[in-house]
Amino acid sequence: MRLGVLDIGSNTGHLLVVDAHGGAAPLPASSHKQPLRLAEHLDDAGAVTQAGVDALTDFTAEALVVAEEKGCEDLLAFATSAVRDATNSDAVLAHVRERTGVDLGVLSGEDEARLTFLAVRRWFGWSAGRLAVFDIGGGSLEIAAGKDEAPDVAWSLPLGAARLARTWFPETGAGAVGEDSLREVRKRIRAEIARDAGHLLRAGRPDRAAATSKTFRSLARICGAAPSGDGLLVPRSLPLDALCDWLPKLAGMDHDALADLPGVSPSRTHQILPGALVAEACMDIFDLAELEICPWALREGVILERLDRLSVLGDA
């Protein structure tokens, strides 16, 4: 069957069209995305601004047309942290529903972590043993770990790269951030992660640790990983020692210099430094020398869970 997955993230709206059936890997057929930057379209009260609501609604309408043109039998539409945490979340969802007819579901942080874990487990398989998964989104950081397809532990923290950029880093560039501010945000990131680190650490070190998301992929590319053009099956990783070497350089770069780095989108230059601080903290606190980069993430997890349910019903 052909499925459309509409993912309204804190950074980007992304429609992924796949050909999928039970027992097979989802095969991408089409992709349509647009920067929405919802995590940065928030007012002082934490509500999505009218500009953000309009951008979200317009993109949802576009995505619906694309899904229909591509022959999708079903559209799985969901939103994550930026909409989930907005003080006007219900009004935003109602506006989108009224204007487009699309009923966006809102994933909880725990569900986001759980579904991402499912995708990574299926990608690496049972040979990964006890698996730990980290995902830095625009609005939140998801962490999950376990030995099965469902994680033993899964939680979400308000440490997304866009959220941190908006709060701590000026638009003039990462190079404008003073040492005191850098030290303060680093301290707060680490305290937030360490508070619940025991959830994962009590079961011992994971046999394998993986990371997903654009932020991790960009950091891995900066640190020497193969470009995306080499294909999904090329192993990629983010080593902690290489990341630590790059951190002071990233802190001193302006937007133009960051945009020249491999794997960095011009629209996300302001998120690279905060994302790097979160990645470094995760690896340090959980004593991980490197993270393997997994090309599958939340969207694939949503598809896989849907196929599993259809298989149970005998429809896939």
Residue-wise pLDDT tens digits, 85-117: 999 999 999 999 999 999 999 999 999 999 999
pLDDT number for residue 314: 64
Q: Which of 82, 6, 98, 13 is nearest to 49 (CA)?
A: 82
Does the structure show a pLDDT above 70 at 171?
A: no
Q: How confident is the model at residue 172 (pLDDT cuts 50, 70, 90)?
A: very low
Q: Which residue has the higher pLDDT, 3 or 170?
A: 3
Whether pLDDT at 173 is above 60? no
Residue 160: predicted pLDDT: 96
Q: What is the mean pLDDT of residues 147-162?
A: 96
- Kindly state the average pLDDT of the residues 2-21: 95
pLDDT band at 207 (very low <50, low <70, confident <90, very high): very high
Length of the chain measured in residues: 316
- Residue 315, pLDDT above cutoff 60: no
Per-residue confidence (pLDDT) for residue 310, from 0 to 100? 83
Residue 49 pLDDT > 60: yes
- Segment 41-67 shows an average pLDDT of 96
In the predicted structure, residue 312 carries a pLDDT above the cut 90: no
Walk me through the domains of the chain, giving residue ranges and CATH numbers. 2-106 (3.30.420.40), 109-298 (3.30.420.150)
- Measured torsion, CA atoms of residues 136, 137, 143, 145, in degrees rounded to the nearest 10: -90
Query: For 277-286, what is the mean pLDDT?
Result: 98
pTM for the full model?
Answer: 0.94
| Stretch 15-23: mean pLDDT | 92
The per-residue pLDDT for 23 is 86
Name the more confident of 313 and 214.
214
Q: What percent of the chain has pLDDT over 90?
A: 88
What percentage of residues in the chain have a pLDDT greater than 70? 96
- In which band, very low, low, confident or very high, does the pLDDT at 191 lie, cut at 50, 70 and 90? very high
What DSSP letter does each residue of 30-73 carry, written as one string? Answer: EEEEEE--GGGSB-TTSPBPHHHHHHHHHHHHHHHHHHHHTT-S
Mean pLDDT of the chain: 94
pLDDT (0 to 100) of residue 169: 81
